[in-house]
Amino acid sequence: MSIHNEAKLGEIAKTVLMPGDPLRAKMIAETYLEDYKLVNEVRGIYAYTGKYKGKEITVMASGMGMPSMGIYCYELYKFYEVENIIRIGSCGAYREELNLLDIILVDNSYNEGNFAKNYSGEECHFISSSSELNGVIEETAKNLNQKYVKCNVATTEVFDPYLPDPLDYAKRLPKEYNILASEMESFALFYTAKILNKKASCLLTVSDSNCKKEELTSEQRLNSLHAMIKLALETACIL
pLDDT at 218: 72
pLDDT at 221: 67
pTM of the predicted protein model: 0.96
Confidence class for position 223, pLDDT limits 50, 70, 90: low
Q: Say whether 107 is catalytic.
A: no
Does residue 1 form part of some domain? no
Does residue 9 form part of some domain? no
How buried is residue 239: exposed, middle or buried, by Cβ count under 10 Å (0-12/13-18/19+)? middle
pLDDT at 222: 63
Does residue 2 form part of some domain? no
Do the Cβ atoms of 89 and 20 come closer than 8 Å? yes
Does residue 153 form part of some domain? yes
Q: Residue 78 is part of a domain; what is its CATH number?
A: 3.40.50.1580
How many domains does one find in the chain?
Answer: 1
pLDDT tens-digit profile of 123-180?
A: 999 999 999 999 999 999 999 999 999 999 999 999 988 988 888 899 999 999 999 9
120 pLDDT more than 80: yes
Confidence class for position 11, pLDDT limits 50, 70, 90: very high
Percent of the chain with pLDDT over 70: 98
Does residue 29 form part of some domain? yes
Does residue 3 form part of some domain? no
DSSP for 99-144, written as a single string: -TT-EEEEEEEE--SSHHHHHHS----EEE--HHHHHHHHHHHHHH
3-state helix, strand, coil in the chain (%, to 5): 40, 30, 35
Does residue 225 form part of some domain? yes
Q: What is the dihedral of CA 127, 106, 47, 74, to 10 degrees?
A: -10
Q: Tell me how far CA of residue 166 lies from CA of 53, 112, 117, 134, in angstroms.
A: 41, 15, 25, 28
Domain containing residue 143: 15-238
Residues recorded for the chain? 239
Confidence class for position 212, pLDDT limits 50, 70, 90: confident
Does residue 110 form part of some domain? yes
pLDDT tens-digit profile of 57-116?
A: 999 999 999 999 999 999 999 999 999 999 999 999 999 999 999 999 999 999 999 999
| Arithmetic mean of pLDDT over the chain | 94
Calpha distance 141→147 (Å, rounded): 7
